[in-house]
Amino acid sequence: MNACIFCRIIEGDAPGEIVYRDDLVTAFRDIHPVAPVHVLIVPNQHFTSLNDVKSEDEALAGRMILVARKLAEREGIHKSGYRLIVNTGSHGGQVIPHLHLHLIGGQRMRHPMG
């Protein structure tokens, strides 16, 4: 059994509220949302972080962003605005060692980010 919780959600071995799935990515709601809309978009293939993505994975990286845009529209936050975040490594705030893109919106975002 894979120890990565995101891999387990993708495989259907752990619960997750999946809102989108295709051949490259899966998206599901964050269990600890920081805003009314908080969706994680993850590659179906395990990448520990953005540092593992190579030039041959360009289609995957693009798909993650385009899926985020599609979900922002579906969630009704595309006009008011939203934030996309990729945390990488411990100093970047990455908690789960599986590359993921946060789609956050539905309220005014706070600033500064750091």
For residue 113, the model assigns a pLDDT of 73
pLDDT at 19 (0 to 100): 98
CA distances from 21 to 11, 18, 34, 107, 109 (A): 11, 7, 22, 25, 27
DSSP β-bridge partners for residue 106: none
pLDDT < 70 positions in the chain: 1, 114
CATH topology of domain 5-105: HIT family, subunit A (3.30.428)
User: pTM for the complete prediction?
Assistant: 0.95
pLDDT at 114: 61
91 is catalytic: no
The residue from 32, 46, 98, 100 that is catalytic is: 100
Res 111: pLDDT: 81
DSSP label at residue 79: T
